[in-house]
Amino acid sequence: MRITKKEWDAFIQGGGALKEGLDDAARSDPIRQVPAAAFRMHSDIKALSKLRTTAADGNDPFVPEFIDVFFAYLTDSPDAALALRDAHTNAAHRSEPVDKFLGPLTPDQIKALHASREKFFGTPASPKPLEDAVSNAKAVLDEAFKKAFELLKQHIPEAIPVASEVDSSAPGTTFNEKAPHIMRNLIRDFGFTENQAAGILGNLGHETGGFTLFQELRPRSGRGGFGWAQWTGGRRLEFEKFCRDNGFDQKSDEGNYGFLRHEMKNTSERKVVDALKATTTLEKAVEAFERVFERAGVVALTSRITWGRRALAAFRAPPTAGTGGGVAGGAGGTVVQQLESLIAANKIRFDEPRLKQELLRANSGLKISPKLQALVLKLVALVKPTEHLRISSLVRASAGHHGAGRAVDIGNQEIARDFLPQFATPAKVAALGIDELIYNAGGLDAARPQKFNFNDGAPFPRFDDRTMADHLDHIHVSVKA
C-alpha cells in the first residue's frame, strides 16, 4: 500500500467517519491505509463527476469509468483524466503522443509524470502513443480486478456480485435461483438429504464464484479447470467429450448437470455418493464432497461452507412472487420509503426531475395509482444488480392509461433482454396486476417482435404498426387499477 503524505492529509481533513481515531502515525499501518485509499478514489470520482455534470443533467450525474478514476490517480488530476478520455474517443488521436492530451497539466507536472509513471506515459523524449497509455492502464486494472476477485472468491464469496454469463434459458441465472433447482435434481436422482445436496452446491458455488465463472482464472498448470466442478486434466477432456457426444453446450446446465450425474453414477467418482450419504450435517457434507470428488488444490473449506449455507437457505426460502431475490433498500418501510432509497442508490433514475415527484405521488394534479407505484417497486427487483430502471414517462395529459395515472414508460429499453422474460408470462402478468405490456422486441427476435406484448392481462401479439413503431425505444407497462 502506498498512501502519500498528501493523500493521508486530505483523508484526515475530509474523511468523515472513516478517519475517526486515526492520526498521522497510523499512516504506516497497511490496514489503516485501506480507508484512506478508498477516500482517495471517492474524492476522484466526485471530482470527475462534478467536472462533467451540467445543470441540464438534473439528477443523472456523469459516472466515470474505472479507467478515468485510475488516470485521475496516475496523473493526480481529474482534469487530465477527462482530457485523456475525450482524446481517446477520437480514433485519429490514438496514435499520437500522449503528451499532446495532457493539456491540464503544467510542463513541470508532465515532466514529473514521465519520471514517476514511465510505464504508462513513456519518457519526455519518447512519450507513448495515447493508445498504448490507455491499453497499458486497462491491462493493469484488469489484472488488479482479477486478483481482487480471486481474493473475494476465497475469503468473502457472499460479496461477489451475481451478474452471470450463465445460459439464460436455464431456470434463473444467479446462484440463489439455480441452487434450489440443482438441489432438487440431486435429491431426485440420488436420494440425498437437503444437507447432502447443499454440500455439493457449496462446492460448486465456491468453484465457480456462484456460477459466474466457467474457466478457472489462474490455473497453476495446463488449461485449468472448466465447468461447474472445475474439471481438470482427464476429467475435463471427458467432460468436453460428454458435451460433444450429447450435443450440449459446455456452459449449459444440461451439460454440466448431466456430466456431474454421469460421473457420480457411472465412473469411479461414484464413491462420493456413499461418502456423502454417511454425513448428517451440511459442514460434513461439504467437506466430504471436497475430499472425495473435488480434491481441490486450494481447499478453502470456509468459503465452500458459506456457499453451502446460501444454497440451503435459498432451497428452504418460500417461493416469492416472481422475484429472484431481495431489492436493495427493500429491507422495509412503506412503498414510498423503499422507492426513495432505490432512487438514492441510483437504482431508479428519471429523464426529468418531475417524474420523481410523480413516482412518489408528491406531484400536484393527477397522481399515479398506488398499484402502479407498487408495481414499479416490484419491477426494480427484477433488474440485474449492475443495471437500473430509467423512467421516461408517467402521467400525461392524454386519454388512455398515462392519462389515468396507470402507466409507466421505461426508457432504458436496453435492459429488455434480461428484464422482460422475467415477468412477460400470463401467470406473472396476472400476479402483478398488469394490463398492458408493450415493447417492440424486433431487435431481440426479428421473427417475433411482439413476443412480450400483453393487453387486458392476456398475451396480445397484435398491436398495430404505429403502436409498434412508438415502442422501439421504451417499454410501456400499465396496471389494471
Where does this chain bind Zn ion (CB under 5 A)? Answer: 407, 409, 476
CB nearer to Zn ion: pick between 68 and 409: 409
Instruction: Identify whether the C-beta of residue 457 lies closer than 8 Å to the C-beta of residue 435.
Output: yes
CB nearer to Zn ion: pick between 294 and 409: 409
Residue nearest to Zn ion (CB): 476
Any residues with CB less than 8 A from the CB of 397 and at least 6 apart, and which?
A: 403
Q: Least Å distance between CB 305 and Zn ion?
A: 48
CB nearer to Zn ion: pick between 289 and 463: 463
Residue 290 DSSP class? I
CB nearer to Zn ion: pick between 134 and 410: 410
Q: Least Å distance between CB 158 and Zn ion?
A: 39
CB nearer to Zn ion: pick between 177 and 409: 409
Q: How far is the C-alpha of 437 from the C-alpha of 471, rounded, in Å?
A: 10
Q: Least Å distance between CB 388 and Zn ion?
A: 19
Q: Least Å distance between CB 473 and Zn ion?
A: 11
* Ordered DSSP codes for 232-281: -HHHHHHHHHHHHHHT--TTSHHHHHHHHHHHHHHSGGGHHHHHHHT--S
CB nearer to Zn ion: pick between 422 and 467: 467
Element (H, E) at 437: strand 434-438
Q: Least Å distance between CB 402 and Zn ion?
A: 6
DSSP H helical ranges for 351-393: 353-359, 370-380
CB nearer to Zn ion: pick between 165 and 414: 414
CB nearer to Zn ion: pick between 406 and 476: 476
Q: Is 451 helix (H, G, I), strand (E, B) or coil?
A: coil
Nearest alpha-carbon partner for 11 in 2, 24, 30, 29? 24
Q: Least Å distance between CB 351 and Zn ion?
A: 13
Q: Least Å distance between CB 407 and Zn ion?
A: 5
Residue 13 DSSP class? H
* Chain centre to alpha carbon of residue 224: 25
* Ordered DSSP codes for 180-203: HHHHHHHHHHH---HHHHHHHHHH
Q: Least Å distance between CB 408 and Zn ion?
A: 7
CB atoms within 10 A of CB 1: 12
* Grid coordinates belonging to 196: 447432502
